[in-house]
Each structure stands twice: as structure tokens, then as C-alpha cells.
Structure 1
Amino acid sequence: MTKFLTTAALALALGTGAAAAQTTLFFGEAGPNRGARADAINFFADEVERLSKGDLTFDIQWGGALFKAEAAKSGIADGVADAGTIIAVYFPQEMAGYGIADLPINNPDPWVGMKATDELMRSNEQIQQNLADQNLVYIGTFTTSQINVGCKGATIDSVDDIAGLKVRGVGAYGQAFADQGANLVSMSIYDAYQGMDSGLIDCSQGYSYVVPALQWQEIIDSYTILNWGQVGALGVFMNKDVFDGLSEEEQTWLMEAGRAIPDELGEILSVENDAAVQMMRDQGIEVVELPEAEREKLVEAGSTYVDQWQQTAANVGIDGETLMSEYQSLIDQYTQEVEDQGYPWTR
């Protein structure tokens, strides 16, 4: 098994107490060191170092230096890195339990989604065992935030408006659009600007903070807030052999830092998403909030993909129906918390 000779591994091999002095872990991230997720990863690493008073640190390798996104699961499980980011959509079978956070259900709030996902991943024994069988330990979760759609030369005011549009879609959200008559075009989000500019596509699904990042405001005429769901099955995982070799105190530091991610990233996304929507309004872009009745049509359209996910989960020994019930309950719980107390950063 290929493995970096981290301070932790060296200490274990020598049977010394060196790891108690300082442990450096290698972290693999396929994305660049910029943007909301990078900010959350840096926060996580800084939080681990703070909690441990410098005894436990990360050496973060950005931009796929250790492995690309589609090789992250094996890269971490096999020890190419001690920890790193796994995006579940690349591993629909192996990460079936985690994939629940990607489903097109009524789950648009980034903080609520992350908190519900985080608690589910920590508490559900089926998921824990499935990950352990793959030599993985769950540490913390991210989200891309809710899926919305920007269009050039079109406006989506209702589900009926989707029919006939050429749309760059995202996973099950794109497929649900196709079920409503959209013509799906396979395209990277980074190519959506050129696609809309050239007429290759009319619209692109994406996230509010992506609009200024990719300069969509220069090209789109309308932006529809779907209030539908999010892509939330991406987060920090660790090699179980390495994790089990750490002290109980070190494991606690990692888990505490992982639990703190939703509050930090939730605030980042809230600020960036709100600023992006206001920027679009200021520039005269029509911002539409899909009516509740229309949103419910999308949630219903997504139910097919929830059923498909449940079958995938069953194939790996996970009771998808029970898991979905638990997840929905957690979403309701944290939604109520926001209604009663507001978000943590506003309290």
C-alpha cells in the first residue's frame, strides 16, 4: 500500500511518542486554493491547529497534486493522502449513503443542509460501517449551496418555461429539468459563459456565488432562484488506518474541527450568495423567485431520482428509505432552529 511517511506514520512505525509532539497529515484537494470551498478547507486546517495548539497540522496539496477528484476515494483509502476531499457524485455506489445530500428534494438552505448531512454522517451506523469497510472515516461536510439557473434570452417563471430550453444541468437536477422538456447539454460550468454567449445553450444551472466568479452577469438576462435543493455530498474524509493510529485527543480535535465547518462555510456562502443576487438586481438582471407551487412541481419531478438513489443504497446494504426519513427529520429540525434562533453567525 502506497503511503506518505507522515509524522504520525513514522511515530507509529517506530513505536515512539513522537506523534504526541507534532503530527503532520497530508491533505489532497482536487480544486484550487481559492473560492468558498478552499476557504472552508483552510478554516478546517487552521481550526485543527488551533485546537491542538500546533500539535496536529495539515500539509494541503491543492489542484489535484496528489489525485484528481475522480480518484479521491481510492487516493485517501489507499494512503496516497492521509485525508482529503471526496465528491460523492464520482462514486455513486461507494458513497451511496453520502449521496443523499445531492438529491433534488426540498433542501435549499446551505447551512441546514450541511448540518443535517453532518449529523447523519456521524450518527448513522449503516453509513459508518460502509465507510469503515472502505477504510474511510468521515470528518466534515461542505456544500455548493442551492441550485439555481441563469438564462440568456429566456426567463424561467414557471416549470412550463423549462420546455424547449437548451440547459447545462447538474446531476439529478439536470435530469429533472430534462424530464420537464429541457434539452440537456453536457458542458462544464466553466464553459457556460461561452455556451450562452454563442447560443449553444440558453441557460445554465449553477450557484449564486458562481455568477460574479465566472462573470455570468455580463451575459445573462434573468436568474431564477429555484428554492429546490443543493449539491451537498462533498466533504472531508480520512484514511481509517491513519485515523485509528492517532491518539483519542487527536481524533477529537479532528472531529471538532469538522463539526465547525457548516457554521463557517454557511456564513461564507450566505454573504457571497446574497451579494451576488444583489449585484444582479443592481445591474438590471431580472431575478425571479420561483413560486411555491412551481417549486413543488420540481420537488415532485426529482422524486424519480430519489427512488433510484434508494435502489443504489440498497445495493450496498443501506436502507435508503429509513435513511431518507432520518435525513428529512434532520432537515426539519435545523430549519426550525433557523426559524427560532436565526443562523449561528447572527445570534
Structure 2
Amino acid sequence: MNKYLSGAAVAAISFAFVSEAAATEWNVSVWGKRRAFTEHVEKLAELVSEKTNGEFIMNVSYGGLSKNRENLDGISIGAFEMAQFCAGYHPDKNRVITVLELPFLGVENLEQEVAVSAAVYAHPAATEEMAQWNAKLLMTSPMPQYNIVGTGEPRDELAEFEGMRVRATGGLGEAFRAVGGVPTSVTATEAYQAMEGGVVDTVAFAQHAHLSFGTINQADWWTANLNPGTVNCPVVVNIDAYDSLSDSEREALDSSVSESIDHYLANYGELLKKWDSVLEEKGVQKVEIDAAVIEEFRAKAADPAKDAWIADMEAQGLPGQELYDLVVKTLADAKSGS
């Protein structure tokens, strides 16, 4: 055996090491299991890898890197490069985007949810607040209006919400509190146990989450049209990691966001199409709330929550009125097609 490698062999080995070192690898922290809520993250990872010939890889971890309530903290210290979180888990850390969780905003579909989220994410106040956590807002995780599942007799009158223990976070929780409910902000992964153990009477989720976290399996009924609002769950990246990308890697990432959202919307649309068959299969009653009850709910929850939110933000030096007006205008534009 030759004691020394030839120059060509050394060069080949060196090139192999350099090539391996040149690949960029990001860890992405989400939770639960792969589902409609994470499809844009999965698609983003796929597109980025394709566009960079495998030189920019995203490893998506479902709960292996952090608890869902701690994802923003993990981003801030660089424990991982990308993460998903929901504003209602820690509203004090992401005050600006909680405007998107106000009840009865009037968002009618996922496309409109994408539009209003993008507008708020692009506002300087949102950028500055997230920068405090070394986080850059990349894209939203658009969800339809939340509705509740419960056991026993359906709660379809406002009086029946009095004392109702409901899993609902952020602005949704405050909406139920306004009509006598008792909101609790247990995480999505804890909701099934909370319902099973009687900690809550009802759970407010979007359709995919009722499926993914099993609450639909315990339910006797589901409200089809209560539609009090939704939660806002951004995907963020660590600013230092983003700035460290090469120009081509950054281009691959940025240019893949829109296509990833489109994939998410198409996938979620298929889930919504089959929702009625899911209810039938699981023996869950579809409850239509009377329009007068919904209007009474709106009157008690919408304006008071909005006014309180604006006052609270302004008192903290944030442009609450401006942010709310931005949502209203963006939504109106989206509905008119302008």
C-alpha cells in the first residue's frame, strides 16, 4: 500500500469535503404530525431542495426540537432556523399580529386570510416586533374560521355559552368570555386530553385540527356556521440564518413562498370538500346556529374586543388603529377583487 496519496487523490478527497461543507442545512420546528396545517412547510422544503440541487436542505421536525409554545424562543436563540407558532400562545411576544385574531373580522375564505396576514406581516411594526426575537415573518398558515365541537346536547343558544369551558386562544377566547364562556388556552396537542378529562366542555379548532388532534372523535356535535374568528400562525425564520444564506439560496427560499401557499390552499380545499362525509362517518351532528344568535354574539364580542385591542396597543406605543384599519381595507380590497 502506498504510504502517500497522489496529488489527484488528495484533491478529490478535499473537493468531497468542501462540497459536503457547502450544503446548507436548516432545522424546522413544528408540532403534532404532518397535516394540512404544515403542508406549506413541507412544500417549501421540497421546492428549496429542488431549486438548489439538494444544496439547501430543510429538516422538518414534529415536536423533536421544541414545545410549540417555545418555538419563538428557540428562534430567538438560534436553536433552529425556522419554526411555526400561533400568536395566541404568547400574545405578549407578538402583539402586532394579534390584530388578525380579533373576533368577527369578516374573513370569508383562506385566500382572504392570506391577504390580510401578508399585509400585517409587511407592516413595519410587525417587522420591528419580530426582530426583537431575531425572527423574520416568512409566511402565514391560513386557517378557516374556527368552530366548536362538544358532547351532549348542542349548545346553539347564547345562554348555553354561560359557564362553558372552551379551549380557545387569543381573540377567540376573549370572544367567548364576552358571552359568559370560560376560555382556556391549552395547546393543540393538549386539547384531546383536556376534552377527555373534562377540563373543557368544548374545543374551538379549524377542521384539520379537529381531525389531527382527535377532538372530532369525542364529539357529538360541531357548529357549522358560528365562525367567530380564527387564529394566526406564522412561519418565521431566524434573521441571522436568513442573512447567512447565499444569494441563490435566499432566492430559492423567497421565490418558493407563494407556490408553497398555493399548494397549502389547494390541499386544504380538498379537506373542506370532504368535511361533511367526515362528520357523517364519525356520527357527529352538524349544527347550524340561528342567524339571530350569531348576530347577538357578534354584538357582544366584536366591537368591544376591537376597541379594547386598539386602546391596549396604542397605550403600548403600537399603531393599533392603523393596523386594524389596514386589515379592514385589505379585506375589502380582497373581497372586491382589487
TM-score normalised by structure 2 residue count? 0.79
Check 1:93–1:163 CA distance in 2 against 1; reply closer, same or farther (3 A cut).
closer
Return the offset for 1:113: 0.8
Once the two structures are superposed, residues 17-74 of structure 1 have per-residue CA deviations (whole angstroms, 9 ceiling, x without a partner) of x79x954232331404422233221111112223334342213333142x32233223
Q: 1: distance between equivalents of 2:185 and 2:130? A: 31
Equivalent residue, structure 2, for 1:35:
35
CA shift for structure 1 position 254 = 1.7
Instruction: Assess if the C-alpha contact under 8 Å between 1:140 and 1:235 holds in 2.
Output: yes
Aligned-pair CA distance for 1:134:
3.8
Q: Residues 211, 241 of structure 1: CA spacing in aligned structure 2 closer, same or farther, 3 A cutoff?
A: closer
Are 1:149 and 1:223, in contact at CA under 8 Å, matched by a contact in 2?
yes
For 2:73 and 2:193, the matched residues in 1 are separated by 34
SS of 1:302's equivalent in the other structure is helix
- 2:26 aligns with 26
Residue 251 of structure 1 is matched in structure 2 by 250
**CA–CA distance in 1 between the matches of 2:228 and 2:139?**
23
Q: CA RMSD in A?
A: 3.2
The match for 1:111 is 111
CA pair 284-42 structure 1, distance change in 2 beyond 3 A? closer
Shift of 1:295: 3.0
Instruction: Report if aligned partners of 2:136, 2:239 keep a CA contact under 8 Å in 1.
Output: yes
Three-state SS of the structure 1 residue aligned to 2:140 is strand
Amino acid of the structure 1 residue aligned with 2:139: G
In the TM superposition, what whole-angstrom CA distance separates every residue of 1:216-274 from its partner, at most 9, and x where no partner exists?
45543321121231112x22212222222323443232222223343222222222233
**8 Å Cα contact 1:153-1:202 kept in structure 2:** no
Change (3 A) 1:94 1:203: closer
What do the CA deviations read for 1:268-318 (whole angstroms, capped 9, x no partner)?
222223323332146553312334443343334133333343345335543
Q: Name the residue aligned to 1:210.
A: 209
Work out the CA distance in 1 between the residues paired with 2:236 and 2:297: 32
Give the whole-Å Cα distance in 2 for the aligned partners of 1:212 and 1:261. 22
Shift of the 276–81 alpha-carbon distance from structure 1 to 2, 3 Å rule, reads same
By how many angstroms is 1:148 displaced? 0.1
Partner of 1:304: 304
TM-score, normalization: structure 1? 0.78
d(CA) in 1 for partners of 2:323 and 2:269?
28
Q: Cα distance 1:198–1:99, how it changes in 2: closer, same or farther (>3 A)?
A: closer
Offset of residue 166 of structure 1: 4.0
- What is residue 239 of structure 1 aligned with on the other side? 238
Q: Determine if the alignment matches structure 1 residue 318 to structure 2 residue 301.
A: no
SS at match of 2:207: coil
Task: Please list, as runs of the form range in 1=range in 2, the aligned pairs for 1:146-161 lying within 5 A after superposition.
Answer: 146-161=145-160
Superposed, which structure 2 residues align to 1:179-194 within 5 Å? 179-184=178-183
Distance 2:67 2:309 in 1: 25
Contact 1:193 1:214 (C-alpha < 8 Å) held by counterparts: yes
Q: Structure 2 matches for 1:65-144, cutoff 5 A?
A: 65=65, 67-104=66-103, 105-122=105-122, 124-144=123-143
Aligned residues: 318
**Matched residue, 1:9:** none
The answer (yes or no) to whether the contact 2:203–2:215 under 8 Å persists in 1 is no
1:310–1:247 Cα change, 3 Å: farther
- State the alpha-carbon separation in 2 of the partners of residues 62 and 197 from structure 1: 23
Deviation at 1:118, TM superposition (A): 2.0
Correspondence for 2:329: 329
How far has the Cα of 1:121 moved from its partner?
Answer: 1.1
The aligned residue for residue 56 of structure 1 is 56
Structure 2, unaligned runs of 5 or more: 1-17
Query: Is the Cα–Cα contact under 8 Å of residues 31 and 62 in structure 2 kept in the other structure?
Result: yes
- CA deviations on 1:323-343 (whole Å, 9 max, x unpaired) are 111112222333344xx9xxx
The letter of the residue matching 1:107 is V
Whole-angstrom distance in 1 between the partners of 2:195 and 2:125: 43
| Equivalent residue number for residue 176 of structure 2 | 177
Work out the CA distance in 1 between the residues paired with 2:277 and 2:135: 41
CA 1:70–1:199 in 2, change beyond 3 Å: closer, same or farther? closer
8 A contact 2:91–2:170 mirrored in 1: no
* Corresponding letter in the other structure for 1:224: T
**Residue type matched to 1:117 in 2?**
S
Are 1:30 and 1:63, in contact at CA under 8 Å, matched by a contact in 2?
yes
Partner of 2:47: 47
SS in 2 for 1:142: coil
